[in-house]
Every structure is written in structure tokens, then in C-alpha cells.
A and B are shown apart, each in its own frame.
Chain A
Amino acid sequence: MPESPIAETIGQAGRIVLGKERQIRLALTCFLARGHLLIEDLPGMGKTILAHVLAKLLGLDFHRIQCTADMLPADIMGVAIYDRGSGSFQFHPGPIFSQVVLVDEINRATPKTQSALLEAMEEHQVTCEGETRLLPEPFFVIATQNPYHQIGTFPLPESQLDRFLMRIEMGYPDHSAERELLSGADRRDMLNGLPPCLQPGQLIELQRNVILVHASPALIAYVQAIAEHTRRSPDYQIGLSPRAALALLRAARAWALIDQRDIVLPEDVQAVLPAIVGHRLHAPGGNTMPSSVEMAGKLVAAVPVP
């Protein structure tokens, strides 16, 4: 059986980002489901390298934006400058005009910049000087934030968090993976020699195929049961919105596609659940923050598979 380009991508990425196959799969799922990804973890856990690897393997152009407090929306979107030669304003596109955009430490940017960025993510277009410009396709934003050092940051409000299809955590590598990392070659060098596994046209086709993955009535009932449970149960402050339920179903489809299936199983829903609900559900009281895995585990255990 010939290896599919997706499986090859995962295999290649796994050689560089060691011991993080699940995160790589989730990131790909997010990408195929046309969502955007938020990675939350400490510095040095491989967030940037993951973004880089994905862009490279998928054959897409890549830009990185390091957010700072004095950054303006124009620094991201681009700016129109008067060109003396032509006698007109010339638009200079910003770093967002790129297929894969890594927004590092998004919570260091001011709310104004954040909202401009998130709007562009949502609409896939940028409006400047009254002129609307479409962003390239496919378009994938990976934002990172450091959840532990919040001084001088502007945490993303819940409404903005909702614009990210998934939120994942990298976590420390396990013992053997770290050993391999330390004894192996430099990751940047390995990155440079990486050939793309996918053509851009192939990618867009895959994205289109996501919605063709069959979700049976029983599975849709399962997704609905999960959403309804979060609304009824006293364990959650606010239940999942219909948009979140849609996101869950879309992500489950993409996950099934990565698994090379054309039907969605309850297991797919359970696999993407932590990444989908982790930033959308909150325990009441809110003084203890359960991890998204714990919270999703509890949610899975509470809803029988129909």
C-alpha cells in the first residue's frame, strides 16, 4: 500500500519534532479543517519548529511575526505608501500575506492589533484604504502564547479564543525523544534539507475532501449529546456554542481523513475533543484550571456513545 502524502508528512515531521506525533496530527487536522491553531506552552518547547516544519512539508510559504506591545495593525497587514514615481499610493503587503503565518506570543500585542489579526484570520481578507485584498489560499495561522508569564500581556478574550479552531499544548518530550534530540543533528539544518511532501493543489483538494467525510446520524447525535451535556452539567460555567459543535464535527472529519477513512467514528470525536473544548469550556468557580485533557476526559466519560 503506497504511503499517502499525509502519512508521509506526519512521518517526516516526526523525525524533526520528536515524540510529538499527536500534536503534529492535531496541527494537520486543524489545517485541513481550515481552522487556525493556538499553541500554548513555555518557550523552547518546539512551537516554532513545529510551525516551520509544517509549512515546509506542505510546500507553503512561511512568515513569522513576533508580537510586541508597540506593534500596530499596519505592521501585520501592510501599508499603502505614496509612490512618487507612479504618483499613486502603492500597497506594501505585510507579513500576513503568506500561506502559513506564525504569530509568536500573540498575547504581547495590544488588543487593537490582536483584533485586526483575528479579523483577517476569520475573513481571509484584509481591507486597507477602502480596498479589500484577499489573503492567499490556503491560509493557516499558528499563534503561540506563553500561559505562565502574563505580566505586561493582553490575554485573548474568550470571543477571540473562539476564532482558533484548536488549542494544543506541546508538553515536555519524553525521555527517549529528548535523548535523541540532544544527540541528534541541529533541527534547523534538518529543516533546510526538507523536501515538500505535498503540492499546493493537492492540499486544497484535501481541504475540500474534509467535508466529504461521512458523518452518520448516530455520530451527529454523539456530537450533539456532547454539546448538550456541557450545557446541562453543572461542571461547566458555560456550555459549548453551536459554533463549537460545528468545529468539533469538522475537526473530527479532518482527523478521520488523516486516518484515511471516509467515515467519522466516535473515536475521532474523542481524539480531537481536548484540543477543541480546552479553550472553550471553563470549570465553574475558575480557581482551579483543569488541563484540557482532564476536562475532555471527564466529558468523554460522561457521554455514552450512541
Chain B
Amino acid sequence: MAARKARTPAASLDKAQQLWLLACAFLALLPAAEHVPLWLTGVAGLALAWRVILWWQGLPLPPRWLLTFLVLAGTAGVFITYRQLFGKDPGVALLVLFMVLKLLELRSTRDALTVVLLSYFLLLTHFLETQSIGFAGLSLLALIVATAAMASLARRGGTVAAHLRLSMLMLAQAAPFMLVLFLLFPRVQGPLWGMPVDAYSGMSGLSDTMSPGSIGNLSLSGEIAFRVQFDGAIPPRQALYWRGPVLRFFDGRTWHAGVPQIMPSRELPHAVSGPAIAYTLTLEPHNKPWLFALEMPGTLPANAIITSESQMLARMPIRSRLRYALLSHPEYSLGGSNSADSFKPLLQLPDGNPKTRVLMSQWRKEAGGDEALIRRLLAHFRQESFFYTLTPPLLGEHGVDEFLFGTRRGFCEHFASAFVFAMRAAGIPARVVTGYQGGEHNPVDGYFIVRQSDAHAWAEVWLPQRGWLRVDPTAAVAPNRIETGLATAVGTGEPLPFMVRADLDWLRALRFRWEALSNSWNQWVLGYTPERQRELLSRLGMIEPDWQAMTAAMGTLCGLLLLGLMAWALRKRATRDPLLRAWERLSGKLSRIGLARHAWEGPADYAHRVAAAQPVLAKPVADIAALYIALRYGRAGSREAADRLNRMIALLKVPTRT
């Protein structure tokens, strides 16, 4: 009988408390669905559903042997998936597993507390995966529910609103501490969250190779590559070429960058002139060292280096958001003073594509000079039926021939590749430059957003005396791409990323707002680096604080906050009525032996309860209660009687608990 009874669902937890715990666990588990193995998501979902049905029907919980079996099987599953049980991912998977199994043996308050604490911890682990503002919002909700679940454990039978109110009050009281710790806790270089061994996979961006379709694929992503804040007016779109990897070597299909030649002592390879554009760029992590700049940078950010091809690089791959300020000059000259011989490698061509070679040698004979040849090829692109499309046909062995004489449909990499090939075939040094072109102004916060879909490839040709000139063959075919952006340049029905489409105005407006919000989140919360911390503290008057000073400030502030909260709590407790205060002192005294007065308990009932529990106290407490009743509910009270009450309570000897 006793064993059966123990197995009824959560004998000491009522249905409402169980529902709170289920909701709290669900919210803590929800974000995990994205990054635990699929089988575990399934198992957790089934276990949760099973638990909800048990709750709904009031059925008994599963027996212990079944749970033991599930623990062993699940742990084995995690081990098989990860080949180990230690480390971040197996750890999170095990936490998820234990959490759902704990729900299946939710019997006592102790189990319930375990679930709540596990929820807090699980929420914390999700930050190792993502720190987006949406997730932060979800976490806040989960925190409120978890704390409310705890409130429901402490105060059985309260209303939903009361639990939520208490939970939010507690979190509001915690908020100032959070703020102090966030601002003052000594920061280390690197992202706020993250583990050193994390693989930085899944980050998209430009690479140092380019083959047909690679930029087209990148264009399908609406992800943000970087954000720019221009100090002055935004330059016209045609000038917005964000320079990235420069590709020199061609194997007939793929362009490669080769080993970059770093300029010694950060000297600029190009000369700039004319007015400058000042801006600050916030680069999303892309796990490559490239830094992007508007052509051409007149200065270098700290710690940046530059190649002889004017590509800016960081010394390490970019693995956390990076901000840098730059000055760029649209007027520049690059390599004009060099001799033609130094660019011999840039005439290198693989075998193949005979038709293109024949055509170019013929044009070479006909054309007056290099510039005329370039103009002729661009005119050819413009006048013949070449199409700019995200879905070009596949190319075979002689890719350039097939493109120029056959398919004539391509994305920017096809045009850039064919153009550079043709130039080299005609004896003009040429190379492919990749990067981003254009971008989008967010009217909400004034930031200029450049997405992966703005990825672009163009060409550079070298002319004696004039140096490297930018030629964008895509501009000849699809001028819209450069003037207004990708969305209007390709035909309708192309598989554009949803977020880049031009036709949904309300969606664009919504997207602008959302991105402005997450930008401020990135800039102010996630981007709160040691530099920003120092900057803020120096503005607050702490010049060059060391970690000891910061810790001391943090401790002081937290202490002051704690004192403030305590004063607030005490002020709420302090009652002016001396009688009531005396009466509460009695309750406080008796609370030591577990006989505190319930707030709703009348004095006579209380005296009876104490007498029943502690017969020794029956007489003195009954006397005290009688005097209190006479003073508080009777006709007359006197100062002297109140003092007597106080004395009686002070003299009351409470036996120690046995």
C-alpha cells in the first residue's frame, strides 16, 4: 500500500506546481532542440509529451527500473554520438537528458528544486551557442517562469499572477546587481561567451578561391557581413566597392589568391588623393583574416596589415565582432610606377579555352591599344545577349569558351573570370578582386548594412603609367546591380534570399527595425569589450583602472545595493503599532521551534495551536494571548499593559527543539 502510494504522481506536489515545473523545463529545453543531436531532441520531446499526459490524466509516474534503464540507454547514446562524455556538447546533451528524466520522477519538493536549478543552468549553457537578442528575450521569459515555478513551490495554492508578480519582482531586484557586474567585472579579450575549443564552423563569407557559382551561392544568404556607420553623407552606390581577397592564379576553373605579399612596416602600396570618406565598420566574425575597406583605405586600423595588392588583413582570423574606424579615398593610384615586367605572373594562363585565345589575338591586332581593347570587350558584353542571373547553366572543361560563345548567362564571378582571362589572353596583366558591392541603408538607426548577398567579384587591369584600374564587367551587363542592388538586377523568379527581396515593403521596414535593434544589442551588450569598459570607466572618472580597483568598485556597489534592498524590506516590515510589533516578536520567538504564526491566524487560534504542539508553553502563551486580545480587541488598552505584554513576551522561555 505504501509503495503504491509513493508512486502516485508527485504526492507532495499539486497539479499547478507540476504545471509550473513543466513549463519551466520546456522553456529551458526549447533552445537546446537546435544544437543537441536529432535523436535526443526526439527522445526529449517524447518524454515531455509523456510527462504532460501523465500530468493531464493524473496517472502514476513510471517505475524506477524504467528510469534507470533510460538513464543508462541515454548516456550510452550520448557517448556513441560524441565518442566521449566530457566537453561542452556531450555535457549539454547529458543535461538535457537528465532534465527530462528528472521530470519523470518529479515526486518531492526536492526533485522540483532540482528541475528549477537545472533549468537555470541549462539556460546558461545555451549562451555558448547563441547570444542573439531573440534568444536573450526567450531566456528572460524562461527565467521569469523558472523563478515563478520556485515561487509556486514556496507558496502552494497562490494564483498564477501572484507567482509571476513575485518572480518579476525578484528579477527586478536582481537587475541592478546584474548591471553592476556586467559593467564592472574585469573583462578579458575575446567574446563574452564561448569556449576556446569551439569550431568556428558555419560562418559564411568570402574565401580566397573563386569558382563558378561560389559567389552566387553566397548571394543566397541574407546574413549580414558587416555594418558601416558613415561619418558624413553616404557615397553613391557606384563608389561602394568593399575590397576583399585579390585572386591571381587560375587553373581553368578556380581562381586562387596565392600567398599574399605583406607590405613591410604597414606601408600602403597605393597612393591616395582627393577627399576622404570617414566611417566605422563593424565586421561580423567570418573566421578569415580579411578586413574589408572601401577602395582605397588611406589609413590602417591598429593591428591591421596590408598586402601589395591593397588587401587589408588582420593578424588572426576574425572570430568575434570587430569594430574599426577608417578613412577611404575614392581617388587612388596603385602600381602605376612599376614596370610591366613585374606583372608577368599576372599573364599566367592555363591551357584550354582556344576560342577565346583566338578571338583575343585577333582583337589585339585590330584594336589600337589596351584601352580600346577593354572598351571593345565591355561593349561586347553589353551589346551581345549576355544575361546576369543567379542560376547560370553549368560549365564544362573550357569554361570561359563555353560562357563567352555558348551559354552567355552568368553571375558576377563568370563575367569577372571571363574578362580577366580574356585580358590576359590579350597580353594585359589582369586579376580578379572579390569583395562586396553596395549595401543598404537602414533608416531606423542610420547604419549601412552589407550582406553576404552583396558579395561581388570584379576585375582589375594594369595599364602602363596609369597602374591598376578597376573594371567591372558586371556593370556592363547589368548596370542595375551596381546602381540599385542585386534584387532589381536579376529577373523575377530568381531564388533571391527572402530578406533581400525588393517587393515586400512592410517586411523590409520590419527587417530594418529588427536589425537596428540587434545592431544596438551587438554594439552595446555583446560588443562590450575591455576597450569599451575602459572607455566607460574613464568617463566615470576611473582612469586606467586595474582589476583590483574594478573589483573593489564592484564590491562596494553591490554592497550598497544590498543595503538599499534590505532597508526597503525592513521599512516594509516595520509596523508602527507597538502592540502588533510585540505580537510579531512572539511569533518570531516561537518560529525557532517551527511555530511561527500564520499571517491569517487569529490570536486565540494561535495560542491553541502552540499549546497543542508544546504543552509546556500552553499556560504562558495563553496568558500572553489573553492580554494581547484584551489590548487589541478589547475596549481599552493602556501603555502600562502594553509594556507588560512586552515583558511577558521577553521573559517567555522557548524550549529548544527536541
Interface-lining segment among B186-194, B366-374, B389-397, B597-605? B597-605
For B141-167 the 0/1 string (1 means CB < 8 A from A) is 000000000000000010101000000
Of all chain B residues, which has the CB nearest A218?
Answer: B632
From known contacts A235-B159, A265-B604, infer whether A214 and B599 are also in contact, taking CB-CB under 8 Å.
no
- Given A265-B602, A265-B604, verify A298-B634 contact (CB < 8 Å): no
A303 touches B600 (CB 8 A): yes
The smallest beta-carbon distance between B445 and chain A, in angstroms, is 40
Q: Which among B161, B605, B633 is the interface contact of A218 at CB below 8 angstroms? A: B633
Contact A304 B602 (CB under 8 A): no
Q: Pick from B157, B600, B630, B635: contact of A305, CB below 8 A.
A: B600
> Would A304 and B159 count as touching, CB distance under 8 A?
no
Q: Does B43 contact A (CB under 8 A)?
A: no
Are B600 and A306 interface neighbours, CB within 8 A?
no
A257 CB, nearest partner CB in chain B, Å: 14
A264/B633 in contact, CB under 8 A: yes
**Which residues of chain B are within 8 angstroms of A305 by Cβ–Cβ distance?**
599-603
Are B633 and A304 neighbours in the complex by a CB distance under 8 Å? no
Chain A, residue nearest B598 (CB): A301
- Shortest A241–chain B CB gap in Å is 22
CA distance A232 to B161 in the complex (A): 13
A294 to chain B, nearest CB (A): 11
Q: Specify which chain B residues have a CB less than 8 angstroms from the CB of A267 in the assembled complex.
A: 602-605
**Distance, CA A265 to CA B629, complexed state (A):** 8
Give the one of A219, A235, A301 with max B CB within 10 A. Answer: A301
CA distance A216 to B600 in the complex (A): 17
Bound CA–CA A214/B630 (angstroms): 11
Asked if A136 CB lies within 8 Å of chain B CBs, one says no
CA distance A304 to B573 in the complex (A): 13
The A213-232 residues at the B interface (CB cut-off 8 A) are 214, 216, 218-219
B602–A266 contact, CB under 8 A? yes
Give every chain A residue within 8 A of B602 (Cβ-Cβ).
265-267, 270, 305
Among B599, B602, B632, B633: residue with most chain A CB under 10 A: B633
- Bitwise interface map of B from 633 to 658 toward A, beta carbon under 8 Å scored 1, else 0: 11100000000000000000000000
Residues of A within 8 A of B634 (CB): 214, 216, 263
Shortest CB–CB separation between residue A246 and chain B, in angstroms?
Answer: 19
Q: Which of A290-306 contact B (CB under 8 A)?
A: 298, 300-306
| A214 to B, closest residue via Cβ | B635
Contact residues of B between 188 and 243, Cβ < 8 Å to A: none
Distance in Å: Cβ of A227 to nearest Cβ of chain B: 15
Given contacts A267-B604, A301-B157, 13 further A-B contacts (CB under 8 A): A214-B634, A216-B635, A234-B159, A235-B159, A263-B633, A265-B603, A265-B604, A266-B633, A270-B605, A298-B157, A300-B600, A301-B600, A305-B600
B600 pairs with A263, CB closer than 8 A? no
For residue B580, CB closer than 8 A to chain A, the reply is yes
CB of A216 within 8 A of CB of B605, answer no
CA distance A39 to B604 in the complex (A): 29
Is the Cβ of A265 less than 8 Å from the Cβ of B600?
no
Tell which of A234, A263, A300 touches B635, judged by Cβ atoms closer than 8 Å: A263
Nearest 10 CB-CB pairs, A to B? A304-B599, A266-B602, A267-B602, A216-B633, A263-B633, A267-B604, A263-B634, A218-B632, A300-B600, A301-B600
User: Within 8 Å CB of A265, what residues of B?
Assistant: 602-604, 629, 633
Report 15 cross-chain contacts, Cβ distance below 8 Å, ordered by A residue: A214-B633, A216-B632, A218-B633, A235-B159, A263-B629, A263-B630, A263-B635, A265-B602, A265-B633, A266-B602, A266-B603, A266-B633, A267-B602, A267-B603, A305-B603
The residues in A between 258 and 274 inclusive whose CB is less than 8 angstroms from any CB of B are 263-267, 270
CA distance A159 to B630 in the complex (A): 38
B residues with a Cβ closer than 8 A to A are 157, 159, 161, 580, 598-605, 629-630, 632-635
Q: Across the interface, name the chain B residue whose C-beta is closest to A256.
A: B633
Q: Give the CA-CA distance A265 to B602 in the complex, in Å.
A: 7
Chain B residues whose C-beta falls within 8 Å of the C-beta of A214 in the assembled complex: 633-635
Q: Which B residues lie within 8 Å of A218 (CB)?
A: 632-633
Residue in chain A with minimal CB distance to B630? A263
Inter-chain contact A304/B600, CB cutoff 8 Å:
yes
Q: Which residue of B lies closest to A235 (CB)?
A: B159
Query: Chain B nearest CB: distance from A270 CB in Å?
Result: 6
Secondary structure class of chain B's binding surface, majority of residues: loop
Q: How far is the CA of A219 from the CA of B601 in the complex (A)?
A: 13
In the assembled complex, which residues on chain B have CB atoms less than 8 Å from the CB atom of A303? 600
A298's nearest neighbour on chain B, judged by CB, is: B157
Q: Which residues of A have CB within 8 Å of B629? A: 263, 265
A303 and B634 alpha carbons, distance in the complex (Å): 21
CB distance from A304 to the nearest CB of B (A): 4
Most buried by A among B161, B602, B630, B635: B602
The answer to whether B600 and A302 touch across the interface, beta carbons within 8 angstroms, is yes
In the complex formed, the residue of A with least CB distance to B597 is A305
When distances are taken between beta carbons in the complex, the residues of chain A under 8 Å from B159 are 233-235
Query: Distance in Å from the Cβ of A271 to the closest Cβ of chain B?
Result: 10
* B158 to A, closest residue via Cβ: A302
Q: What is the distance, in angstroms, from A196's C-beta to the closest C-beta of chain B? A: 32
Are A306 and B580 neighbours in the complex by a CB distance under 8 Å? yes
Inter-chain CA distance A193–B370, complex, in Å, is 135
List of B residues within 8 angstroms of A219 by Cβ: 633
Alpha-carbon distance between A303 and B600 when the two chains are bound, in angstroms: 6
- Best-surrounded residue of A233, A266, A298 (most CB of chain B within 10 A): A266
Complex CA gap A305/B161 in Å reads 23
Chain A residue with the shortest CB-CB distance to B580: A306
**8 A Cβ contacts from A225-258 to B:** 233-235
From B599, which residue of chain A is reached at the shortest CB distance? A304
When distances are taken between beta carbons in the complex, the residues of chain B under 8 Å from A216 are 632-635
Q: Which residues of B contact A298 (CB under 8 A)?
A: 157
Distance (Å) between the CB of B211 and the closest chain A CB? 65
| CB-defined contacts of A304 to chain B, threshold 8 Å | 599-600
Which residues of A lie under 8 Å from residue B604 when comparing CB positions? 265, 267
Q: Could you say which residues of chain A place their CB within 8 Å of the CB of B603?
A: 265-267, 305
Specify which chain B residues have a CB less than 8 angstroms from the CB of A306 in the assembled complex. 580
**Minimum C-beta distance from A51 to chain B (A):** 31
Complex CA–CA separation, A235 to B630 (angstroms): 34
Contacts of B635 in A (CB 8 A): 214, 216, 263
> Please, which residues of chain A bring their CB within 8 A of the CB of B601?
305
| Chain A, Cβ-Cβ closest to B583 | A305
Whose C-beta in chain A lies nearest to the C-beta of B160? A234
Nearest A residue to B631 via CB reads A216
B614 to chain A minimum Cβ distance, whole angstroms, is 20
Identify the interface centre among A219, A235, A270, A305: most chain B CB within 10 Å of its CB: A305
Chain A residues within 8 Å of B605, by CB: 267, 270
| Closest CB in chain A relative to B605 CB, distance in Å | 5
Determine the distance from Cα of A264 to Cα of B603 in the docked complex, in whole angstroms.
12
Q: What distance in Å separates the Cβ of A206 from its nearest Cβ neighbour in chain B?
A: 20
B169, chain A: closest CB distance, angstroms: 17
> For the complex, what is the distance from the CA of A235 to the CA of B600, rounded to whole Å?
18
- Chain A residues positioned under 8 Å from B599 (CB to CB): 304-305
Chain A nearest CB: distance from B484 CB in Å?
A: 56
Q: Which B residues touch A233, using CB under 8 A? A: 159
- Bound CA span A267–B633, Å: 11
User: Could you tell me the distance between the alpha carbons of A218 and B157 in the complex, rounded to whole angstroms?
Assistant: 27
Query: How far, in angstroms, from A270 to B598 measured CA to CA in the complex?
Result: 14
> Cα distance A270–B605 when bound, in Å?
11
Q: Which residues of A contact B633 (CB under 8 A)?
A: 214, 216, 218-219, 263-266
Complexed CA–CA distance, A264 and B632 (Å): 10
Closest chain B residue to A233, Cβ basis: B159
A212→B124 CA distance, assembly (Å): 64
Report the bound CA distance from A234 to B600 in whole Å.
19
Q: How far, in whole Å, are A218 and B634 apart by their CA atoms in the complex?
A: 10
Residue of A nearest to B575 (CB): A306
Q: How far is the CA of A235 from the CA of B634 in the complex (A)?
A: 33
A124 CA to B510 CA in the complex, in Å?
71
In the complex, what's the smallest C-beta–C-beta distance from A17 to chain B, in angstroms?
26
1/0 per residue A32-44: CB within 8 Å of B? 0000000000000
User: In the bound complex, what is the Cα–Cα distance between A303 and B599 (angstroms)?
Assistant: 8
Give the Cβ gap from B322 to chain A, nearest Cβ, in Å.
51
